[in-house]
Amino acid sequence: MAGVAGPMLRRNKAQGTRFLTGLLVGGCVASLLFAAVLFALGTLLEWWLPPHVRLVAVAVMLVLLGLADIANRTPHTWRQVPQAYVRSIPPGRLGLVWGFDLSLLFTTQKSTSLTWAALVGTGLLVPSAAGWVLVGMTVVGVLTIAVRSVYYSVNGMPDQGDRIRLWFTLIRRTCGVALLVVAAVVTLGNW
């Protein structure tokens, strides 16, 4: 997104701002819809499963997700928001469409399994927080994109060579280790 918003901000600050605003609004709308589903499913699971079973399920999922990240196999679809939209949709609407698509979470690539861990933990342990968690993830994501976009609009895009792939692999594996540590804390703290 910063690769789109940065050049857009450089060319026309108003268009870039409309894009980022649309990204935030579209993302929050999708997050709230997704949160309603997560809340409903999580509430059903709260009724059906005792707390210790849900804790074990979360710990197991964290271990599986952590191992997937360490193996550089973060689960996700091999799809990105369509790039062709940049040329065919005005900036504000483009932001709405992309924000909505990204915040559906299952429709785009993931850098790490932290998103899945947040969904599992929220859905199984605190479904009443689904709205705050998902909208919070969207707001933090869009703010990060906005900061990077402003930086890139001033300084230009960095070289996207092998260094970036190595960086993502390091981040992914670090997140995998962090998920294993959280799984251990959850497990040990509840036995």
186 pLDDT exceeds 90?
A: no
Quote the percentage of the chain above a pLDDT of 70: 93
Asked if 187 contacts 130 with a C-beta cutoff of 8 angstroms, the reply is: no
Q: Give the mean pLDDT of 48-73.
A: 95
Burial category of 85 from C-beta neighbours within 10 Å (exposed 0-12, middle 13-18, buried 19 and up): middle
37 pLDDT exceeds 70?
A: yes
pLDDT on residue 156: 72
Axis crossing angle, helix 162-189 with helix 114-125, rounded to the nearest 10: 20
Which tens digit of pLDDT belongs to each residue from 96-142? 998 998 888 877 777 889 999 999 999 999 999 999 999 999 999 99
If we measure between CA atoms, which residue out of 177, 38, 158 comes closest to residue 106? 38
pLDDT on residue 88: 83
If we measure between CA atoms, which residue out of 184, 39, 65 comes closest to residue 124? 39
